[in-house]
Chain A
Amino acid sequence: KQEVTQIPAALSVPEGENLVLNCSFTDSAIYNLQWFRQDPGKGLTSLLLIQSSQREQTSGRLNASLDKSSGRSTLYIAASQPGDSATYLCAVRHYNDYKLSFGAGTTVTVRA
């Protein structure tokens, strides 16, 4: 069974600081990994998707890396802004699965 862990559970930084969010998974036979953002009581917004053959994906201030062999992914958010305050979730899809297995998320607060 795929286990996905996100550490830390919560993070508070001053505006302008770079954010580093970690995700680890136990089964490296993944098809892809997605990072999502969730605002309180709302749905999930897809940020980045990394295929198993890729090492990283970038979109604007966001960069996600993937190391399948060590079962880790990292989401970097450059020059954080108060609008980046949200919960960030990573999710992995196994090769033999249609479902996503989610971590519990990291709740980020960016202080103005």
Chain B
Amino acid sequence: DAGVTQSPTHLIKTRGQQVTLRCSPKSGHDTVSWYQQALGQGPQFIFQYYEEEERQRGNFPDRFSGHQFPNYSSELNVNALLLGDSALYLCASSLAQGVAKLFFGSGTQLSVL
């Protein structure tokens, strides 16, 4: 049973560029959440997708957008990259019903130069 998979594992971009990160949820899961983790800090919630809709959004600017596909996989897009966007981006999947225990992927390390 494959867990949550994220791609790419590492990415280097320059300021002003755009980036797309991808996530495939754990088999059977229908909900995907994205988190940003700066070095030495706990993850911060970006948004959650369920039934291809953004169900909840954290305190992140509109430069951060996402999408969920019919197969429940998801993308995170960040436009006009800033140096401060350098972080580990984590995807988590869960079931919409019940306890909703989160399972995390290994993350995408984004460096903005």
Contact = CB atoms under 8 A, between A and B. Distances in A.
Interface string A35-50: 0100001111110010
Contacts of A89: 42-43
A99 B42 contact: no
Interface residues of B, number: 27
Tell me if A's interface is mostly helix, strand, loop or mixed.
Answer: strand
B40 A99 contact: no
A46 B42 contact: no
Contact of A43 (B48, B100, B105): B105
A46 B45 contact: no
Interface size class of A (residues with CB under 8 A): 20 to 34
Contacts of A101: 45
Contacts of A41: 88, 107, 109
A27 to B, nearest CB: 15
A19 interface: no
B2 interface: no
Contact of A4 (B4, B33, B42, B103): B42
A101 B58 CA distance: 10
B99 interface: yes
Contact of B58 (A4, A44, A51, A99): A99
A69 to B, nearest CB: 22
Given A42-B106, A49-B99, A97 B56 contact: yes
B104 A99 contact: no
Interface in A18-59: 32, 34, 36, 41-46, 49, 51
B102 interface: yes
30 contacts: A4-B42, A41-B107, A43-B4, A43-B90, A43-B104, A43-B106, A44-B43, A44-B90, A44-B104, A49-B101, A89-B42, A91-B42, A93-B100, A97-B56, A98-B33, A98-B48, A98-B55, A98-B56, A98-B100, A99-B56, A99-B58, A100-B33, A100-B43, A100-B45, A101-B45, A102-B42, A102-B43, A104-B40, A104-B41, A105-B42
